[in-house]
Amino acid sequence: MLAMAGMYAASLAALVHAGLRPAVPWDFALLVPILLVPFAIIFYFYSTQQIHSMLDIAAAASILVLYNVFLIWPILALALFASRAASTRQYQWRLFLDGMVTMILGYATLWNLNYLLARFVATVHDPVLRATDEWIYSWFLPSVNYTDFFPIVDNDFLVLLLNNAYSVLFPEIMLVLFLVCQTGEARRVSRFLKGLFALYAVGILCFLMYPAIGPCLYYPESLDPTRTNFQLIQGMRHDYYAALKGETLAGYGYFIAVPSLHVMVALYLQRCLLSFSRLYRVFLPVTFTLIASTVVLGYHYIVDALIAVILMGAWMLLHKSFRI
């Protein structure tokens, strides 16, 4: 935690020196407790080992279909906890608190570094990636017009599933962190966090070598605003150009396209869940849907996702015995 605090302080000093001030997206931050409720419910039931194995599919389906129906989760949580006796499990709150603080500092550092990248790396290669995408899409589509092109699918139910899957990533990180903390071993928590932020470090290095910001930011006209999370995309687009010009930031500081960090982190979390076999099965369909969502919803080019899968495949081959 102290090392991450030092990194955050250094990134903050660099940001201020560059003429930028960090910001917090409070409208999103206030939603985090609600976003975490489904995963708190999942953790509670899977940690007690009293859930029927046939309900694994139902749990995965509920995440994909109902995740953004915020009202259902607190109601369900209250009903479930009222119907069961309190668990005697000794939760490792101190370890979890340390892990949460470290994670918050890590993401704050990452946001600062992204602003600095946007500030000083002005040239991006999105036109090349778009041309590659259009060439690939031409195998399946008669023509590709980057106006209201995303989401690629027309079915509203599929768009709902994909949007929910894309939103799952950060709460799932919290879930895995909480699971690891319950082992009571600080070494395992440290290993999980180091692996997580090592992936983001890879993303930063890739951006320095081949900068790109993704179709949703470089080609906003490619999105159908009625079927995408336009608030998030507008926030990221605003912050990218605000950092580029030295203007006021809003707190949506993430602009790395190659490789897709959403895909890399999702695969990393899936691998971490090998130590929790029931949850591994629950999140397997969620992870595949999440990977598809990054391209279908227009957050990433096809190449971004492919490179992420290749990098994580190589990592998994080199770390066959990896467990958290």
What string of pLDDT tens digits covers the 324 residues of the chain? 777 888 888 888 888 888 888 777 666 666 677 777 787 777 777 766 555 666 777 788 888 888 877 777 777 777 766 665 545 456 677 888 888 889 888 988 999 899 999 889 878 999 999 999 999 988 888 778 888 889 998 898 999 999 999 989 988 998 899 888 888 888 899 999 999 999 999 999 999 999 999 999 999 999 988 888 777 888 888 889 888 888 888 888 888 999 999 999 999 999 999 988 888 888 999 999 999 999 999 999 999 999 999 999 999 888 877 777
pLDDT of residue 308: 96
pLDDT of residue 272: 93
Segment 149-156 long-range contacts (CB within 8 Å, at least 24 positions apart): 149/222, 149/223, 149/224, 149/298, 150/215, 150/216, 150/222, 150/223, 150/224, 150/228, 150/296, 150/297, 150/298, 151/224, 151/227, 151/228, 151/296, 151/297, 151/298, 152/295, 152/296, 152/298, 153/296, 156/227
pLDDT of residue 94: 84
pLDDT of residue 35: 72
Candidates 248, 229, 227, 228; CA nearest to 239 is 248
pLDDT of residue 128: 95
pLDDT of residue 50: 58
